[in-house]
């Protein structure tokens, strides 16, 4: 029997693609390229050694409320008619940021017993920062900064329906600070407790009961010395709604780079400090005051 001639009809394997099918292929390729680009954008800052400028919050897995509900939150009214609101009476320094394992705290915060913060800049975890996860995986590298935020809830800030005070009647924040031993460059901050980590999805989600005020630096990185310094920051320019639900009432961050701590990358790609040291500060008498600063504009960085 002779060999059969090949059929002249097209089979699924050699049928030319239609224009519609080619468009689908091109769209799929573009989507794949976009996914790869997004992953590279997320990891480049970590590989380049650039820590984030924003503050971070503790982790939690909790659903978010709507934006409308968040915008209408009002905090507790201060239980006093005094012209001063004592931060350390109603808020505690319990929200750790950055390289949390490097932070130790003692003291209560008044004139006789200032709060002593010791930041041992070795890069010890756990780490709480914007790059805690990279591509859904835990990032082992240090944040290269540490910080504390005073909040008024036992759990992560922004997750307790009873957290936050309405401080819209106050015009000024006052506090005193100094360093112990060596000088320390520090940023004093308020607000910004607006998101948390969802540990199931490894993504940032909106806090259900967030700060009404965005993260704000209170002044341009003062250098603390062993002499006590008095600080005041005018918040009279804030609108009342910005202060109606204050969760992160006061805090600080200390950065490796600002204090001449050099980070080096080991052969295994881990990041460590070349010259680690203890950065120690004391803070006391933190108050919100109803009196505005006389003849003063708001003190913003760069002004």
Phi, psi of 234 (to 5 degrees): -85, 115
Q: What is the DSSP string of 69-89?
A: HHHT---BPPS---SEEEHHH
Measure the CA–CA gap between 94 and 154, rounded to whole angstroms. Answer: 8
| pLDDT score for 79 | 86
Alpha helices of 49-130 — where are they, by DSSP H? 67-71, 87-90
pLDDT at 13: 47
- Interatomic CA distance for residues 246 and 8, integer angstroms: 77
Q: Quick one: 51-289 is in which CATH superfamily? A: Galactose-binding domain-like (2.60.120.260)
Q: How far apart are CA 119 and CA 109, in angstroms?
A: 17
Backbone angles phi, psi at 25, to 5 degrees: -65, -45
Residues of the chain under the 70 pLDDT cut: 1-17, 20-23, 25, 27-28, 30-72, 295-303
pTM of the entire predicted model: 0.76
User: What tens digit of pLDDT does each residue of 178-235 get?
Assistant: 999 999 999 999 999 999 999 899 999 999 999 999 999 998 789 999 999 999 999 9
Alpha carbons 148 and 201: distance in angstroms, whole number:
26
- Of the candidates 279, 278, 290, the residue with the CA atom closest to the CA atom of residue 252: 279
pLDDT at position 164, please?
A: 96
Q: Strand 195-198 and strand 203-206: pairing?
A: antiparallel
pLDDT at position 34 is 60
The Cβ of residue 28 has, within 10 Å, a number of other Cβ atoms equal to 10
| Cβ–Cβ under 8 Å, residues 288 and 173 | yes
The pLDDT value given to residue 295? 62
Measuring CA to CA, which residue among 89, 91, 269, 279 is closest to residue 184?
279
Distance CA 37, CA 296 (A): 47
């Amino acid at each position: 029997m002779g060999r059969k001639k090949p059929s002249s009809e097209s089979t699924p394997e050699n049928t030319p693609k239609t224009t519609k099918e080619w468009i689908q292929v091109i769209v799929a390729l573009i989507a794949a390229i976009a996914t790869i680009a997004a992953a590279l954008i997320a990891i480049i800052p970590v590989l380049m050694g650039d820590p984030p400028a924003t503050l971070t919050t503790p982790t939690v897995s909790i659903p978010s409320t709507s934006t409308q509900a968040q915008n209408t939150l009002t905090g507790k009214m201060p239980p006093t008619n005094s012209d001063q609101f004592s931060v350390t009476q109603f808020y505690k320094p319990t929200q750790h940021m950055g390289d949390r394992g490097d932070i130790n705290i003692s003291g209560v915060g008044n004139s006789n017993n200032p709060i002593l913060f010791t930041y041992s800049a070795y890069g010890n975890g756990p780490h709480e920062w914007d790059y805690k996860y990279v591509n859904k995986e835990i990032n082992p590298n240090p944040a290269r900064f540490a910080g504390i935020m005073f909040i008024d809830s036992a759990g992560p800030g922004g997750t307790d329906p009873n957290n936050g005070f309405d401080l819209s009647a106050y015009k000024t924040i006052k506090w005193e600070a100094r360093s112990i031993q060596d000088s320390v460059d520090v940023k004093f901050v308020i607000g910004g407790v607006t998101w948390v980590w969802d540990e199931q999805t490894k993504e940032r989600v909106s806090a259900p009961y967030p700060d009404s005020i965005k993260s704000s630096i209170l002044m341009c990185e003062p250098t603390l010395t062993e002499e006590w310094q008095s600080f005041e920051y005018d918040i009279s320019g804030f609108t009342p709604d910005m202060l109606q639900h204050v969760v992160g009432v006061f805090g600080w961050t200390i950065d490796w780079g600002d204090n001449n701590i050099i980070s080096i990358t080991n052969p295994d790609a881990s990041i460590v400090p070349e010259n680690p040291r203890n950065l120690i500060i004391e803070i006391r008498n933190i108050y919100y005051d109803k009196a505005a600063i006389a003849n003063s504009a708001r003190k913003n960085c760069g002004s």
